[in-house]
Structures are given as C-alpha cells and as structure tokens.
Amino acid sequence: MPLPTLQRELEDRISGEVRFDSVSRALYSTDASVYQIAPLGIVVPRTRDDVVSTVAIAGRHGVSITARGGGRRSALGCSSTRRSTSIVSLK
C-alpha cells in the first residue's frame, strides 16, 4: 500500500484534517502509557461522513484504525471530547 495513495485519497474525500507530517505523527504516537508507536497518519473528522469515508478508505488499503478522543484521560482516551460527536457503532 503506497502511503501517498492513501494520503491523497483521504485528502480528496475528507472535509476534516488529514495529517501525514512527521510532527503530527510524533504527537499522536503516545498517550499516558510508556508505549510509543507512530501512526501512518492522522484523520480529524468533521462530519459523520468523514468517519464513514475514513473507515471505508482504510479498509480498502488494509490499514487499521485506532479511535482517539481529546487525549485528556488515559482511561477514556477513545471518547470524543474535541467536538460534540461520538461513534455509536460501526458496521
């Protein structure tokens, strides 16, 4: 899976932010734990359609997704705090 192809497809379909730069990847590589794994890229969705498109694009490219929230609490790191949206289910 060529990374530029994934990035380009996300940028073309997502109205939110798509980040593949080294600084953003470093910032998202850790949480409140000792583990540090840099992601391939970061998507900050603005709409429900952004989430649906991101999941579909990632699936086509064989890329896994880790959902993150505002990063304010280590126990609830996957809850949505940046915007008033939440993922109820993905099918």
Q: What is the pLDDT of residue 13?
A: 96
- Domain of 74: which CATH number? 3.30.465.10
pTM of the model: 0.72
Q: Write out the chain's pLDDT in tens, 91 residues.
A: 568 899 999 999 999 999 999 999 998 888 777 888 899 999 999 999 999 999 999 999 999 998 876 555 555 445 444 554 555 555 4
Q: What is the pLDDT of residue 68?
A: 76
Alpha helices (H) along 1-91: 3-13, 22-27, 48-61
The answer to whether 16 touches 46, Cβ cutoff 8 Å, is yes
Distance, in Å, from the CA atom of 51 to the CA atom of 53, rounded to the nearest integer, reads 5
- Domains in the chain: how many in total? 1
Q: What is the pLDDT of residue 72?
A: 55
Q: What is the pLDDT of residue 33?
A: 75
